[in-house]
Amino acid sequence: MLKVSDPQVFEAVENEEQRQQNGLEMIASENYVSEAVLEALGTVFTNKYSEGYPGKRYYGGQEFTDVVETLAIERAKKIFGAEHVNVQPHSGAPANMIAYSAVLQPGDKVLGMDLSHGGHLTHGHPVTLSAQIYDFVRYKTDKSGEIDYKQLEEMAKKEKPKMILAGFSAYTRQLDYKKFAEIAEKVGAITMIDIAHIAGLIAGKAIPNPVPYFDIVTTTTHKTLRGPRGGMVMCKNKYAKAIDKATFPGFQGGPHMNNVAAKAVAFGEALRPEFQDYAKQVIKNAKVLENELRESGFKLMFGGTDNHMVLVDVFDSKGVSGKEAEEALDKIGITINKNVIPDDPRSPMDPSGIRVGVAAVTTRGMKETEVKIIAEQIALILGDIRNKDNYTKAKKAISELCDRFPMPGIKETAMAK
């Protein structure tokens, strides 16, 4: 259909499919969804207005929106053991805004992780709206790469924040959830954690679940969790009303029901045993990447990884900037992103580091052997970024991997039919 009615968009879609199939996606926040998730996204639920919540909507005709939203909520509760779930946030950034506005007043203080130490823009970076509304103060990691919980406690006692915020997008170690909860209890702060990056690893039981320890948990659904682009807020029953009201009518209008349906499908997938195999393999693959890169002389930030990604100081290791590394690896078909390292002396546009994630290649079925091959190509290219022969060799090795491990969802999208 699309092919006939809009050949230009159709062609762009086809080209994007080819691009995704013919390269290795190693941006740590990306993944490939299943054909079933893609199919749910492209359904007539996109036509429907369903402001409100199941059983309590503002418009009629909600028999089936109620079915998919309830399925999504119940499945999420089962996966994470959450008391209350709101599946309507359009994405991760809105989910965080919703969580802040549900429990904070303008001017209230939030203690969150420093961006260059792995935190996220939406955790109070000065360029964001939330930083204009709330008063963010930041904690950092120490030399060992761990969060300094002593210092965190001292800061909490001194600053008396209304909220202590955990979570990250470039930090690679396991957080001590209990410590956060204990510190917050001592100063009477609300606890919030943003698990956008690691939700899939938690769902697959490959790393510990923070949901029992935190008052509010926000996430995206499209990173390691492998669902459609979207957000979600989980909380203790105590905050349920506030979160629901802050979502609608507080911050958003009508939910995107096609997305909610796709979230339900993805959560159904996350409840299957295969999903645990995937999550555990992600961790194994990341460990292989860490070890191989270290052996090739790269400096790993935070001392290594406990999750799906590594943060590498390529400038200190090989004299290559993050931007140069990103461009060089792009040429051989590996997509990664340049990234700041803690207290980076270089600029955010050309920082010292790169962030490399293995969730998407794991979804394609790659295991330790393949990750070794990938690490070898990264080392080959970044070890001598001006050597033309290396590019030819590495490109061939990556292209062979892409051919052997097709991406899911591409063969029979609604588009191609």
Q: Contacting ligand PLP (CB under 6 A), which of 120, 236, 299, 318?
A: 120
Q: Which C-beta is closer to ligand PLP: that of 29 or that of 258? A: 29
The letter for the amino acid at 85 is: V
For 287: left if phi > 0, alpha if psi spans -120 to 50, otherwise beta; the answer is alpha
Give 322-364 as a DSSP string: HHHHHHHHHHTTEE-EEE--TT-SS-TTS-SEEEEE-HHHHHT
Residue 295 catalytic?
no
Helix axes 368-383, 322-331, angle to 10 degrees: 120
Q: Which C-beta is closer to ligand PLP: that of 120 or that of 173? A: 120
We find the least distance from the C-beta atom of residue 270 to ligand PLP, in angstroms, to be: 18
Q: Segment contacting ligand PLP (CB under 6 A): 85-93, 295-303, 333-341, 344-352?
A: 85-93
Q: Report the residue closest to ligand PLP, judged by CB.
A: 92
Picking from 21, 36, 14, the residue whose alpha carbon sits closest to that of residue 227 is: 36
User: CB count, 10 Å around CB of 89?
Assistant: 30
What gap in Å lies between CA 414 and CA 97, rounded to an integer?
33
Cis peptide before 255 (omega within 30 of 0): no
Q: Which helix (H) or strand (E) holds 151?
A: helix 149-159
Q: Contacting ligand PLP (CB under 6 A), which of 92, 145, 204, 322?
A: 92
Residue 220 catalytic?
yes
> Residue 149's beta-bridge partner residues?
none
C-alpha angle with apex 35: 231 to 408, nearest 5 degrees?
100
User: How close are the terminal C-alpha atoms of the chain, in Å?
Assistant: 8
Q: Which C-beta is closer to ligand PLP: that of 124 or that of 167? A: 167
Q: Which C-beta is closer to ligand PLP: that of 204 or that of 228? A: 228
Q: How many helices (H) and strands (E) does the chain have?
A: 17, 15
Among 69, 194, 306, 344, the active-site one is 194
Based on the shown chain and the rule CB under 6 A, indicate whether residue 122 belongs to the binding site for ligand PLP: yes
Based on the shown chain and the rule CB under 6 A, indicate whether residue 225 belongs to the binding site for ligand PLP: no
Token couple for 329: 């690896």
Among 223, 263, 318, 364, the active-site one is 223
We find the least distance from the C-beta atom of residue 92 to ligand PLP, in angstroms, to be: 2
Based on the shown chain and the rule CB under 6 A, indicate whether residue 31 belongs to the binding site for ligand PLP: no
Residues 153-182 that bind ligand PLP (CB under 6 A): 167-169
Q: Binding string, 186-215, against ligand PLP, x = CB under 6 A?
A: --------x-xx------------------
Size of the site for ligand PLP (CB under 6 A): 14
| Strand ranges, E, within 1-151 | 24-25, 52-53, 56-57, 84-86, 109-113, 135-139
Among 229, 287, 367, 372, the active-site one is 229
We find the least distance from the C-beta atom of residue 328 to ligand PLP, in angstroms, to be: 25
We find the least distance from the C-beta atom of residue 60 to ligand PLP, in angstroms, to be: 31
We find the least distance from the C-beta atom of residue 168 to ligand PLP, in angstroms, to be: 6
Give 180-237 as a DSSP string: HHHHHHHHTPEEEEE-TTTHHHHHTTSS---TTT-SEEEEESSSTT--SS-EEEEE-G
Based on the shown chain and the rule CB under 6 A, indicate whether residue 29 belongs to the binding site for ligand PLP: yes
Based on the shown chain and the rule CB under 6 A, indicate whether residue 340 belongs to the binding site for ligand PLP: no
Q: Which residues are catalytic?
A: 49, 51, 194, 220, 223, 229
Give the interface with ligand PLP as residue ranges (CB under 6 A): 29, 91-93, 96, 120, 122, 167-169, 194, 196-197, 220
